[in-house]
Amino acid sequence: MKILMRKLDNIRGYNLIEVLIAMAILSVVSLGMGGLIHITVGVNRNSAGKTVAVTLAQDKMEEMIATGYPHLSSTSQTLTESYGAMAGYPSYRRVSDIRINKPDTDIKLITVDVYWNDDKQRVRLQSLLSDTNPDLP
């Protein structure tokens, strides 16, 4: 009977060691998963910021194109909307630039830059806009 009890005591000891090893492995895996979740949240936040910036740049670009070539400035012009100037988007700023394309003076280069994250990140859109009815000689 005593021999049987000793064997049972040894078995219980092995079970405890197995449980401790399993808990250690589970802890290491959980820490790794926590780091992965942290990275994933950061990437998603960056993607959301970039999506908003691209949308703001597209809106301004479409507005300028809809204005039409003759109604845009005839000289180079830069318009800056500082942080907080765009309703609903206080953490973004937008810089729109119109340049006469040289040597083709009947083409304007439109550039829209949107900055966020204290100017650490930027999206840039560019487009060429031509005069649909240029003065022919």
Q: In angstroms, how far is the first alpha carbon of the chain from the final one? A: 117
Q: How many domains does the chain have?
A: 1
Question: Edge-to-edge, what's the strand order for the sheet holding 107-116?
Answer: 77-81, 92-100, 107-116, 121-130
Give pTM, 2 decimals: 0.69
Is 88 domain-assigned? yes
Is 69 domain-assigned? yes
Containing structural domain, residue 59:
2-130
pLDDT string in tens for the chain (137-residue length): 566 556 555 555 567 888 889 999 999 998 888 888 989 998 888 899 999 999 999 999 999 988 888 888 777 889 999 999 999 999 999 999 998 877 777 888 999 999 998 899 999 999 998 876 655 44
Is 135 domain-assigned? no
* Exposure string for 36-75, b = 16+ CB within 10 A, e = fewer: eeeeeeeeeeeeebeebbeebbeebbeebeeeebeeeeee
Is 41 domain-assigned? yes
